[in-house]
A = this chain, B = another copy of it.
């Protein structure tokens, strides 16, 4: 009946819960910048491509999901944008009286802090709200039950680390590193292959869940097509975090074998690769695909301590699981100091991470 992969995935991580000093809710200004820059794109997408005539009768609710929502408030801002844009479209078509109910699903991995998410739902929201736990690499909703699927700053997360990366006997063993930046060709290829598999299951699942004509609105952390792997900004950041772990291994604060077996399951795709995967899937028409003009990016990431908090809010769960929580303060203190002397931090123009806006429509 349903794609069983949903329930069989290994434990996946979500950003830090709660509202404390290391929480995602307090340290997601970078993602907030994306949300703000995305508003105009979402409005245009809905104005030009959301088909209120065909699939929204007056009796059926409009069903929307935010995949990888984490905790608030970014997801609430985005969802309100979407609901308002759809309502505006009804009004502009003179069908004001027919505006349907809205049902909004908030999705993230099972380990996400849904309790905090639910407690911070806007009291004056204009939609019914539900939380859906589970990996978006599988099917999460009944067939043809959604009208708009949104995901921001989430598709860079892989469903798992490719097995060969942690296999000492494999040529893809990623010794002394925690990511593919500056790693061997085999490591890079293993990450690329995993991303391709994950996008395949992601697009397959979304094609099941969306009604014909439904929209898939994605904001994907990515890198420009012309880059080599050693250029990537985000890679550099993870490379520095990895080198902090190796420094700690050298002075006996962590085991070196533990560093060897730890890898961050994140991949930053070039646009060409993503486009090829979408075309291979065949269920979607590409309506827009462009780089988001995220002007606040440099502003937000200019402080070394804020940058460290931003990374900690996202990665702490998986680092803690692997190394234990006693290394966290030391690790992120070292990271804060180390990036201060790094060229990519001193010269923000070398930072190459882009956010790709991708608008897809479900084919017949």
A-to-B contact residues, CB < 8 Å: 1-2, 7-8, 59, 61, 99-103, 105, 110-111, 113-115, 118-119, 121, 123-134, 139-145
Contact A101 B133 (CB under 8 A): no
Across-interface contacts of A111 in B (CB, < 8 A): 119
Across-interface contacts of A144 in B (CB, < 8 A): 59
**Considering the chains assembled together, what is the distance between the CA atoms of A101 and B145 in angstroms?**
10
**One of B103, B114, B141 near A142 (C-beta < 8 A):** B103
Query: From A144, which residue of chain B is reached at the shortest CB distance?
Result: B59
Query: How many protomers of this protein does the assembly include?
Result: 2
Contact B143 A101 (CB under 8 A): yes
Query: From A118, which residue of chain B is reached at the shortest CB distance?
Result: B133
Contact B128 A129 (CB under 8 A): no
Contact A101 B7 (CB under 8 A): no
Contact B133 A102 (CB under 8 A): no
**Considering the chains assembled together, what is the distance between the CA atoms of A131 and B121 in angstroms?**
13
How far does the Cβ of A246 sit from chain B's closest Cβ, in whole Å?
Answer: 34
Query: From A211, which residue of chain B is reached at the shortest CB distance?
Result: B59
How far does the Cβ of A130 sit from chain B's closest Cβ, in whole Å?
Answer: 4
Contact B115 A113 (CB under 8 A): yes
Across-interface contacts of A124 in B (CB, < 8 A): 7
**Considering the chains assembled together, what is the distance between the CA atoms of A144 and B59 in angstroms?**
8
Across-interface contacts of A125 in B (CB, < 8 A): 7
